[in-house]
Structures are given as structure tokens and as C-alpha cells.
Amino acid sequence: MSSYKISTMKYFYLATILVVFSCKDASKEIPVEKDMNEGIVYEEYSGVEPTKPEETEFYQPIPPTVQPKDSRGVPSDAIILFDKDSLVNWVSVADENKMADWIVNADSSFTVKDKSGDIRTKGEFGDIQLHIEWKSPVEIGGDGQHRANSGIFLQGRYEVQVLDNNDNDTYVNGQVASIYKQHIPLAKASVPTGEWNTYDIIYHAPEFDKRGNKTKSGTMTVIHNGILVQDNVEIKGTTPYIGWPKNEPHGKAPIILQDHGDNSRVSYRNIWVRELI
């Protein structure tokens, strides 16, 4: 091949590369014409745009004042479900006429009484903010799902898992702070075994139409020891050990605490709810 041909081919390739690059650059510069009528339109922020600050400042409705810690040590609008020394707000799930007979401790907590059955609140709730503290026993027993397994069932159906997961692996959609068999937690945020964990749960109940069909899923946000572990997740139905989630219609319902029946010895304390509607 002559040097003239090689030189010509070099120029040809160089020109091709330049054209490709210049086309790419040109494409970046094409202005995107945004159609302001597309996307989400907020009615209250549409129309003629205000030109004075006071036109976008409102004084109604006034939110209620809530003391974060009142004389009881809880939010002033909270319903205390257990604070010190009595399970008066709890009954047996198996027999609602029977007061819960789990073990009340001297340190203002109570412990699952093994094989006595689940307990539930006397009160029934819809959308709530729930605060609850729990701890696993220091003396370890069992492994996997059999180590300090309990659970908090919102509206008696949807379980936030309670488990001693420290150095104790299990299926991740059943680990501590999972929405059992539906949502893996975003993190494992447990304190050392034997110390008190906190759960702060924002729960929105599912909605059903008159024919019993679910029209809106419930949602759950869970903060475990200050760490976001469930971020407004969709509740897809009940949380059974075996089988698919079910969506039978229901209204307000109690909170259930689980006796896993395998000597879990899980303890609870400082339980309160704020009703959200």
C-alpha cells in the first residue's frame, strides 16, 4: 500500500471520529422543550403565580399542640397500653374474657408466658403511630426462628417480626424487623442481646369496599432503634407462616403480641399508640 493511500485512510478515519463526536456534542445541546401541562399538576399551585409572600402563607387549620413527653413520659395525646405494672389493657386472644396472664416484672416490663397463647389489646385501632420496646433474654436458647421469637401484629393480622437475630441467621424475609414473609428490613439494627430495642411504627390500615374487595393497601413504616428499616412498604395481606397473604375485609382491630410457644422469654415495656385519624 502506498504511503499516499495510508495517509488518505488516516484522514478518513480521523474525519469519521470527529463527525461522530461532533454529532454526540450536538445532541447534548438540543434544548428539551418541557411541556408544562405534563406531569403532576397541583391545583393549589396552579393558575396565576402569586407575586407577594403573604399570598402563599396560611393560618388555618391550626395543628393540635402535642407535648412530646407529658407527666406520664409519653406524648400528651397517646393511649398508654402498658406503662408500669398491669396488663389491664390486654386480654387473651383465645378467650377475650380472660385477662392476659403473661408475666409482669418488677422493672415495669412484662414477659411472654410460654405456651399461654397470644395476647391482644382490649382496644381496637385503625391508623396508628405505635411505640413499643422489647428485649430478648440474655440467656440464649434455640436458633434461627426459635431464638426469642415474638411479633407485633398490627390489626391482629400483619406481623412485624421480633427475633434475636444477633449471630443467628434466618431467612431474611423473616428476620428481625421484617414484615413477616413480605418485606426484608433495610438494615439489621438490633442492640446487643438482652438490651432494650425500640420499634416506632407508622401504620395505615388497608381499605375495603362494601363488597369486601381491598381498594387500598395498608402501609407500614418501621424505625428500629432510630434506624429506618421499613420505608412506607405496602402490606400485601396477612403474614402467615405457610401460604399466601390473605385479604379478608376488616375494620378496626386490636394489636396482638405473639407467644411463639418455644420458650421465647421475650419481654415488652413502654407501649403507647397515637391514633392518626
The reply on whether position 156 binds Mg ion by CB under 5 A is no
Nearer CB in complex with Mg ion: 109/178: 178
Burial degree of 195 (CB within 10 A; 0-12, 13-18, 19+) = exposed
Tell me whether residue 74 or residue 184 sits nearer to Mg ion (CB atom).
184
In angstroms, give the least distance from the CB of 164 to Mg ion.
11
Judged by CB under 5 A, the stretch of 23-31, 63-71, 92-100, 254-262 that binds Mg ion is 254-262
Asked if residue 214 lies in contact with residue 247, where contact means CB atoms within 8 angstroms, the answer is: yes
The nearest distance, CB 257 to Mg ion, in angstroms, is 10
Cα dist from 267 to 75, 113, 136, whole Å: 22, 10, 7
Contact between 270 and Mg ion per CB under 5 A:
no
CB closer to Mg ion, 100 vs 163: 163
Q: Which of 137, 151, 206, 237 binds Mg ion (CB under 5 A)?
A: 151
- Closest to Mg ion by CB, 78 vs 189, is 189
Q: In whole angstroms, give the CA distance from residue 10 to residue 259.
A: 79
Please state the closest distance from residue 151 (CB atom) to Mg ion, in A. 3
- Binding to Mg ion, residues 200-239 (CB under 5 A): none
The interface region with Mg ion, picked from 1-9, 74-82, 99-107, 250-258 by CB under 5 A, is 250-258
Residue placing its CB nearer to Mg ion in the complex, 73 or 240: 240
**Could you say whether residue 149 binds Mg ion (CB under 5 A)?**
yes
Using Cβ positions, the residue closest to Mg ion within the complex turns out to be 151
- CB nearer to Mg ion: pick between 268 and 274: 268
Cβ neighbours of residue 237 under 8 Å, at least 6 residues apart? 244, 245, 246, 247
The residues binding Mg ion (CB under 5 A) are 149, 151, 258
